[in-house]
Amino acid sequence: MRVVVDTNVLVSGLISAEGPCGQILGLVAEGVLQPCLDERILAEYEVVLPRPELRIDPEDVAATIEIVRESAESLTPIPLPVNLPDPKDMPFLEVAAASDAILVTGNLRQFPKRARKGVTVVSPRKLVELLRHA
């Protein structure tokens, strides 16, 4: 299953491996989920994950970024004519639309239904539930 993983899901998964976000990281590492991204998303991962205030082990950050790089489908999406509450979230929606992937985020309000352009946007918990029942 193709997914676009919002940065907040990676952060949460690295902080707590036990919850849905940690499970999603494990499924990416196992190859069950194929992340889709572009250079903007990868750049955000590389800037956000090592932030000292997050207190994530640098080795875990490096390993996660490496796994994502190796397993991801990288594409160049077409800009979408929508406005999101935070314009910095556009790459996630655009890549999901271009790759026909599910966008998984811990902040659904950042992707209002009227702006999704047919993209399925789910919480980490919902994605784990969908996989359980697949």
- Sequence ranges of the domains in the chain: 2-132
Contact 28, 73 (CB under 8 A): no
φ, ψ of residue 5 to 5 degrees: the values are -100, 115
* Mean per-residue pLDDT, 27-43: 97
103-120 pLDDT, tens digit per residue, is: 999 999 999 999 999 999
Please identify, in words, the CATH class of the domain defined by 2-132. alpha beta
8-24 pLDDT, tens digit per residue, is: 999 999 999 999 999 99
φ, ψ of residue 74 to 5 degrees: the values are -100, 130
